[in-house]
Amino acid sequence: MIHASWFLFKSFMDNEKLAELESKIGVTFSNKDQLLQALTHRSYLNENTKWHLDHNERLEFLGDAVLELAITEYLYEKYPESPEGDMTNWRAALVNAIMLAEISKKFDLNDYILLSRGEAKDTGRARQYILANAIEALIGAIYLDQGYEVSRDFILKFVATELDNIIKSKTYKDFKSKFQEEAQEKAGITPTYEVMDEWGPDHAKTFKVGLFLEKELVADGEGNSKQEAQQEAAKNALIAKNWN
pLDDT in tens, 192-202: 999 999 998 87
User: Cα dist. 71→152, 158, 211 in Å?
Assistant: 8, 11, 31
Report the CATH fold assignment for 175-240: Double Stranded RNA Binding Domain (3.30.160)
Q: What is the pLDDT of residue 13?
A: 60
Q: What is the pLDDT of residue 16?
A: 78
Burial class from Cβ neighbours inside 10 Å (0-12, 13-18, 19+) for residue 142 reads buried
Is the pTM here over 0.85, yes or no?
Answer: no
User: According to CATH, where is 3.30.160.20 located in the chain?
Assistant: 175-240
Nearest of 135, 138, 67 to residue 98 by alpha carbon:
135
Q: Which residues in the chain come in under a pLDDT of 70?
A: 1-14, 123-125, 173, 244
Residues annotated catalytic, as ranges = 64, 136
Burial class from Cβ neighbours inside 10 Å (0-12, 13-18, 19+) for residue 168 reads exposed
CATH superfamily of domain region 5-169: Ribonuclease III domain (1.10.1520.10)
User: According to CATH, where is 1.10.1520.10 located in the chain?
Assistant: 5-169
Q: State how far the Cα of 13 lies from the Cα of 7, in Å rounded to an integer.
A: 10
Q: What is the pLDDT of residue 131?
A: 94
pLDDT in tens, 11-23: 456 677 878 999 9
